[in-house]
Structure 1
Amino acid sequence: MRKISLALSTSALSALSALTLLAPAAHADTATPLVIGHRGAAGLAPENTLEAVDRADRAGTDWVEVDVQRSKDGVLMIMHDENLVRTTDARRVFPKRAPWKVGDFTMAELNRLRAGASPQWRGSGYESARIPTLGQLLDRLDRNNQGLVLEIKWPANHPGITKDILNVLGRKGWLDARHVNNRLYMISFSAPALRDVHARRPDLRLGICDEGASAARLASYARYVDVVNPEHHATTADFVRRAHALKGAHGRPLKVWPYTVNTSTQARRLRDLRVDGFTSDLPDRMRKALGR
């Protein structure tokens, strides 16, 4: 390998470098589902934190899924739940602010909270993890060369959030061809939110979360999404076949990415159903279960 490398021209090396930077590494076996870190890697570090994204990276996970909401003063923050109680110390820091909804707090107030405050992370070294902004997350993903599956969470609580998300993505350089074609998906349980994104940026790849894996709705989804995200228990061989028989918004067969898969048995079952990928809190274990 050393002799071959020395024989390459400078221009060839530059071309190879450009290809390396183009996208996160793809899995070698196309029949093996892509393993996507759920909320970063929620079983390895506090969910939806930079620490979780880094743990996913160290586990060899090229793609991560996170959730985005908006603070009271208009900053996009990475957080799943509608309120802050389960994953932070908001009840202790702000005891009189019930029900502790994300949108009732400014970014400065959210920055005071510890995202690693739950008992699960006691003694882990992650107790001081914080809630990142979307901008901070994008910077970290660029550093790690990871792809992003961005879930628009609770859009009814945050009117206009789709436009805000696109503004931040654009400001951070994530709406260029390299990111759009190779490193970015946006998903949601909200069809109106996804249709709004599709109207604004039809080049973006989108995914619809369908908890019940409803095959009857697949044709309507295919008009504006490229991926369907069902709950893994509800995913059947018939659902996968029907999805793959349809072409999504960008002319390719609809992908099926179930959620959230945390056991080897679940991972292997979905592989045998020929799903295209799935999210997992434990991406390292699921990759191992699939022989990756």
Structure 2
Amino acid sequence: MIAAHRGASGDAPENTSAAFEEALAQGADVIELDVRRTADGELVVFHDANLRRTTDATQVFPDRAPWRVRDFTLTELRRLDAGGWNDERFAGQRIPTLDETIDLVGDRARLLLEMKRPSEDEGLVAAVAACLDRHGRGGPLDASGDSGRFVVASIEREYAFRYKELRPEATVAALTVRADTDLAELERIAQYAAFIGTGQARFPQEQVERVQALGLGVLTNTSTAADVREMMPLGIDGVITDHPGRMVTALREERAVWIEVESLEPGCRSSCPVEVQPNKGMNGGKWSGDAQLLVRATGPGDTVEVAFDTGGLGSRNLGLTLGGSPAGGIHQLSLDGEPLGPPVDTYRASVARQTLTFPHLVLAEGAHVLHALVTGRHSSSTGFDLGLDVLELRAAVAK
């Protein structure tokens, strides 16, 4: 089971219609999303407690600090841009309601709904139940016998339990439960939950077996294809990921290769500082392989070269995932001396990623060099940084 984390959040602004449509296009089985309530009791799909990171609320409502979701009506939230922070091509995306999202996804995928901080909103559990009642249930979730279009979950386990009490027929999950959690606690969770989301990328087989012996499904959390390939033979039930398309490919294309660019740092050549930057948490600063290669460029003319090899697997098509930030620059990317299209702007108002694909480019088997030249920066940027996350090499399909 491949669950798209806040939609295809590695390729589109999280928890928006664009991210959900992208996740469906990439082949996700499940759409994971976050649910909160507005000041007038409407259910909206949004992750953070406040609006600053992924909307323009501070500009639209400058006098409404701290810009908490629960302090705004749905009509007010509709005025916000929830996509432009990620990329200007997503400007105008709005915060969707839960009703709208259920209608959008339809029967194309299941929904994994995380109730955000229900301890701070005692009416959230009942409101989610009423919403899902309106949309009905039906259809098998998986071969284990769990049914329904929806899985309802929470990090606050007491409220996942309360939802199960309110709707005994519902499929419920407990989140951020590590696979090595105390056995007594796992036994308590197994009394009401069908799944646990571990928040972990990898763990030993004995932990998988220990959890599954209690009747619990096990979901990992990773955007790294190698993690999925390692864990699948151990019997995990699924993965929650920012890049569902990458995971679909990892399971179905044996010859697909992903190179974590930070692993190439020892051999890179640069005119400016380069460092391996570790993940900063779930709110945007989360890169494949738990890190990215960060080029701390100081101005136009700085360069970096990263050498890699296709691994003797024949000709390849290329994809490149970049990390964006408020300090992003504009870079001309080239491969083996040939430009890879127009310059790329890595400025983002908040930390975000973008994946570039070059379907008409076919890499010959063997060694190659990726080159980046700083040509400038966005007018709002505070620097010239370039974050290099993943090189994707797939069996070539010549165009």
- CA-to-aligned-CA distance 1:247-271 (integer Å, 9 cap, x gap): 2xxxxxx100122x11112222222
TM-score by length of structure 1 reads 0.80
- CA-to-aligned-CA distance 1:77-125 (integer Å, 9 cap, x gap): 000111111111111111111111110111011111111121x313xx2
User: Aligned equivalents of 2:165 and 2:224: distance in 1?
Assistant: 38
Q: Which residue of 1 is the match for residue 75 of structure 2? A: 108
What are the residue-to-residue correspondences of 1:167-182 with 2, within 5 Å?
167-173=130-136, 175=137, 181-182=147-148
1:213 and 1:234 in contact (8 A); partners too: no
Deviation at 1:169, TM superposition (A): 1.0
What are the residue-to-residue correspondences of 1:86-125 with 2, within 5 Å?
86-118=53-85, 120-122=86-88, 125=89
Number of aligned residues:
247
What are the residue-to-residue correspondences of 1:2-13 with 2, within 5 Å?
none
Q: Which residue of 2 is the match for residue 58 of structure 1? A: 25
The residue type equivalent to 1:146 in the other structure is: A
2:179 and 2:211 in contact (8 A); partners too: no
Q: Residue 226 of structure 2: which of 262, 265, 283 is its match?
A: 265
Q: Which residue of 1 is the match for residue 396 of structure 2? A: none
Q: Residue 283 of structure 1: which of 220, 244, 249 is its match?
A: 244
Q: Residue 239 of structure 1: which of 202, 207, 219 is its match?
A: 207
RMSD: 1.8
Structure 1 or 2: larger helix share?
1
Q: Call closer, same or farther: CA 1:134–1:44 in 2, change over 3 Å.
A: same
Deviation at 1:157, TM superposition (A): 2.1
Which shifted more, 76-85 or 225-234? 225-234
User: Aligned equivalents of 2:59 and 2:177: distance in 1?
Assistant: 34
2:138 and 2:149 in contact (8 A); partners too: no
The residue type equivalent to 1:131 in the other structure is: I
Q: Residue 230 of structure 1: which of 186, 193, 198 is its match?
A: 198
Secondary structure of 2:90 counterpart? coil
Deviation at 1:234, TM superposition (A): 6.1
Q: Which residue of 1 is the match for residue 125 of structure 2? A: 162
Q: Call closer, same or farther: CA 1:182–1:167 in 2, change over 3 Å.
A: closer
Deviation at 1:177, TM superposition (A): 6.5
User: Aligned equivalents of 1:129 and 1:98: distance in 2?
Assistant: 22
Structure 1 stretches of 5 or more lacking a match?
A: 1-33, 248-253
Structure 2 stretches of 5 or more lacking a match?
A: 254-399
The residue type equivalent to 1:92 in the other structure is: Q
- CA-to-aligned-CA distance 1:120-152 (integer Å, 9 cap, x gap): 313xx211111000100111111x521111111
Q: Which has the higher contact order (CA 8 A, sep 6+)?
A: 1
Deviation at 1:35, TM superposition (A): 1.1
Q: Residue 69 of structure 1: which of 36, 53, 63 is its match?
A: 36
Q: Call closer, same or farther: CA 1:236–1:105 in 2, change over 3 Å.
A: farther
Deviation at 1:182, TM superposition (A): 4.0
Secondary structure of 1:77 counterpart? strand
User: Aligned equivalents of 1:199 and 1:220: distance in 2?
Assistant: 14
Q: Which residue of 1 is the match for residue 160 of structure 2? A: 194
Q: Which residue of 2 is the match for residue 24 of structure 1? A: none
Deviation at 1:290, TM superposition (A): 1.8
Deviation at 1:211, TM superposition (A): 4.7
Q: Call closer, same or farther: CA 1:282–1:178 in 2, change over 3 Å.
A: closer
2:78 and 2:95 in contact (8 A); partners too: yes
TM-score by length of structure 2 reads 0.59
Give the fraction of aligned pairs with identical amino acids, expressed as a percent: 35
Matched, 1:256 2:218: yes
